[in-house]
A and B are shown apart, each in its own frame.
Chain A
């Protein structure tokens, strides 16, 4: 099989745009989601791909006055080694460090994490809790979608087949709390059974949960509760709001009951921690 490797963004968008939606080209960034089942899943072979590796415009971590911009090829490792990110976005660094191990951290991209659309993703919740915006481009032009409005269903998102994610933009505002919690079946190299990202800023609380709904989910009922009622006094106080926000299930990795209970507890602990710091 042949995989085209366009040299710039215009070429890449042209290739994607020439396809109809029934036979799209599948973009490859790090390949760490796409290649996993390569030897054993026949459908992985019948698709056609386009390799983004040579598209220079998509690389790198860029800082402007207002925002941190992650190029679509920016890897977890790019963020881990960025001094400013460690300073200003410790929550991104914390989640990056919990993705796979160093091999995956250096190949896997934030954009790939978003488009792959796993409800158990580790990159998506922290980006969402930081009000990230997804920048999409096609031959027709560019548009922006807030990450918390990006997903339309299980592994389905706003991206059209002819679009590429070109960047992820994260506003630089003061956040008094940034907390990422990954509850996996072991301490490293694991898929989250429960994921949680919490931030607090002038814009208010952001509470994002993973592995407890068909998509990574912003928990607006919990956010409202925190804004209106202040600190909960026990994990159970969060339950009614959480029930509005999430719908965990039993699957091969855990149980609905475990996920619900643990999410309540780690959330309670995270917001209390935030309150202690603020107070």
Chain B
């Protein structure tokens, strides 16, 4: 099936928030903190500007609680008397001219009495840097299984390693943007977002309004990758505050620079491993420490940490595991949701470490993984017994075979003897990704979804899950049309407007197709039941029954409703962090082939094989696109995407100097699916969106390590870092010789 909104996007007909006409609208702009930490002494408005022509909003204009409600209420909508990070919003301005408001923002000076910021989460905070509890830790998580110390004591080998990953910017094509206006007592906030009901909840709190006095509407969204999970609440509230004060619509659309320096990024992480292996190369102990930089406010860090910790031991079977995680408060802008949500960081560490361990114990990296791969009946670190029928070792075997690993390795060895500059190598990573919210999260969300039968015989799916390029509209259409035997043209998807659609939860966590897609099926069944029809009634007979129902009851609504119920047998204990962390996992093995040019120390991925099992593939084109996009993003994170920080601010907040891969930097991305249907998902599908970003970085870095014989522990592995590794290594050898 073709992508529903594909042609509109391809031809430029799609209207994003920046394109939306808004009569009489003002442009909003944000004045931000210049300092990473301190007390606001004064806000100076340049007297040469006629401020009566501007709408000016500060914290005193927030009618409700001055907090962006999410997990904790610590983040203000607008700073009151102190700031905790550079670019923290302090004052809002609006004016009919976008140009005028841009210039006016430069004429407001936030004077901050500086306090000592905590900027390097790798170091313990000094007393003057403590801002939360007695150690700046905002969340601690511990997972325990078996007895790690005892197992380490009897291990044949213990291998230790420390691995670091950097922040990553989402670089969605469309920057953050929101339009707010009030109409007949109802406040509308419309814009680029992933989670309409998050914005709704935050708006009720900060604006002190009733649920029906606020409507959040998603505008076509040009990419999100998690970056539009939490920040839209902030910018949406800003647009709303200005609109309420102005009595006119207000639009805020960030420039790329503002978007990059002020909004969230992937959490930087440091992961330490201490691994015990017995004489026949089996893992007997995994002792893992995960530390993440949460930034200045809690936002989503506890749950990012949680997912990172739960995935930290990888797709392996080990009886003794201890994983301790800390999310630390620092004075950088809050780090936030980004595709993978903590798992890419811990998977990078684990899969790089697997190569290090294998090399240390003298085993082949592939065989070492195969031998330790989790099998059906084995349990994960949280004690979740895996039994989904997926043959994970076979996925690894298939990836290795498709990549031509053995022949290529031989060719690489020959090349190294004949070419002075070019080196090549192969690298592998095995990994998994849990779909849906972690632990009891889905039960707590209690998602609801409707499928309405329309008078003209079509059905309408009403959900809060949004399209951002990943294919929600198409997938939901497919699922409903398959369930009801209808032509796709008989299915429509309602606009994600909290005034019209129930709360089916956020569009995050690889949950839309799997968890919400299942609700689409259930709501379709319910609709059919309400018509008094059996499950075998499909297609035209169903359409006719719908038309008849409405003809007999003019004006009445016919809605099939679904509410989330966990799959049978899924249980989770949040106290002990044990149980079924996720209802289902996608599993994967990725192989990268890289080429390193010793003249420039640049590494380039020249071939890539991605093999995964995510249950039934609902739409092969979209699924392949998700994997290819995730791999591209992962290669960027591994090799070039680097946020450079200076005094708590991103120094390279522009696309000239924040480098993401172009198509010319990418190899052929060869994508293969094994399909073991999962009975809990729609048509047997599991979540897919995040899995593909977990594996590329370790696969690529493992390949570089083999190509040039170095031991990289940190990404992005830029040419400068790789040069240091190669030259230090050479200098060391020279000294020894």
Contact = CB atoms under 8 A, between A and B. Distances in A.
Interface of A: 39-40, 42, 183, 185-191, 194, 252-255, 257-258, 261-262, 265-266, 269
A191 B656 contact: yes
B417 interface: no
A253 B657 contact: yes
Interface string B646-674: 00000110001101011011000000000
A268 B102 CA distance: 50
Nearest to A258: B720
A187 B665 contact: yes
B16 interface: no
B664 A188 contact: yes
B720 A42 contact: no
B670 to A, nearest CB: 20
Contacts of A190: 659
A131 B514 CA distance: 64
Contact of B640 (A185, A252, A255, A269): A185
Interface stretch (B497-505, B553-561, B597-605): B597-605
A232 to B, nearest CB: 14
Given A187-B604, A188-B662, A269-B421, A40 B657 contact: no
Contact of B601 (A191, A258, A269): A258
B625 interface: no
A186 B644 contact: no
Nearest to B656: A191
Contacts of A194: 600
Given A42-B103, A258-B723, A269-B421, A185 B599 contact: no
Contacts of A187: 604, 662, 664-665
Contacts of B255: 39-40
A158 B664 CA distance: 38
6 contacts: A39-B255, A186-B661, A252-B651, A255-B720, A265-B599, A269-B599
A193 B532 CA distance: 70
A258 B664 contact: no
Contact of B106 (A42, A183, A266): A42
Contacts of B602: 183
Contact of A262 (B599, B665, B718): B599
Specify the main secondary structure of chain A where it touches its partner: loop
B723 A252 contact: no
A265 B656 contact: no
A2 B640 CA distance: 42
B657 A252 contact: yes
A258 B599 CA distance: 11
B684 interface: no
B535 interface: no
A254 B664 contact: no
Interface string B595-633: 000111110100000000000000000000000000000
B719 A258 contact: yes
A257 B726 CA distance: 13
Contacts of A253: 657
Interface residues of B, number: 28
B652 A252 contact: yes
B262 to A, nearest CB: 14
B566 interface: no
B102 A40 contact: yes
B257 interface: yes
Contacts of B651: 252
Contacts of B665: 186-188
A194 B727 CA distance: 19
Given A183-B600, A253-B657, A262-B601, A39 B102 contact: yes
Contacts of A257: 720, 723
Contact of B600 (A42, A255, A266): A266
Contacts of A189: 662
Nearest to A266: B599
Given A187-B662, A194-B600, A261-B723, 9 more contacts: A42-B106, A185-B659, A186-B659, A186-B665, A187-B664, A189-B662, A257-B720, A258-B720, A261-B727
Interface in B445-477: none
B723 A40 contact: no
A119 to B, nearest CB: 15
Contacts of B600: 183, 194, 262, 265-266
A188 B102 CA distance: 32
Contacts of A39: 102, 255
A103 B598 CA distance: 32
A82 B664 CA distance: 25
B380 to A, nearest CB: 38
A191 B654 CA distance: 13
A120 to B, nearest CB: 11
- Counting from the closest, the 5 A-B pairs by CB-CB distance are A265-B599, A187-B664, A185-B659, A188-B664, A258-B720
A254 B724 CA distance: 13
A82 B718 CA distance: 37
A262 B601 CA distance: 8
A104 to B, nearest CB: 12
Contacts of B720: 254-255, 257-258
A183 B103 CA distance: 37
A39 B599 CA distance: 39
Interface string B250-284: 00000101000000000000000000000000000
Contacts of A186: 640, 659, 661-662, 664-665
A269 B604 CA distance: 19
Contacts of B604: 187
Contacts of B718: 185
A42 B727 CA distance: 44
Contacts of A262: 599-601, 719, 723
Interface in B114-150: none
Contacts of B657: 191, 252-253
A260 to B, nearest CB: 11
Most buried by A among B421, B599, B601, B662: B599
Nearest to A264: B599
A121 B28 CA distance: 37
Interface string B73-106: 0000000000000000000000000000011001
A188 B659 CA distance: 11
A244 B713 CA distance: 36
Contacts of B421: 269
Contacts of B106: 42
A266 B598 CA distance: 10
Nearest to A261: B723
A188 B720 CA distance: 18
A235 B112 CA distance: 51
Nearest to B666: A187
Contacts of B103: 42
Interface string B712-731: 00000011100100010000
Contacts of A255: 720
Contacts of B640: 185-186
Nearest to B98: A39
B37 to A, nearest CB: 24
A194 B719 CA distance: 12
Interface string B560-585: 00000000000000000000000000
B419 to A, nearest CB: 12
B661 A265 contact: no
B251 to A, nearest CB: 15
A269 B106 CA distance: 49
B252 to A, nearest CB: 15
A228 B718 CA distance: 37
A185 B600 CA distance: 10
A262 B102 CA distance: 42
A119 B225 CA distance: 36
Contacts of A261: 723, 727
Contacts of A254: 720
A189 B659 CA distance: 10
Contacts of A252: 644, 651-652, 657
Given A187-B604, A189-B662, A40 B257 contact: yes
A79 to B, nearest CB: 21
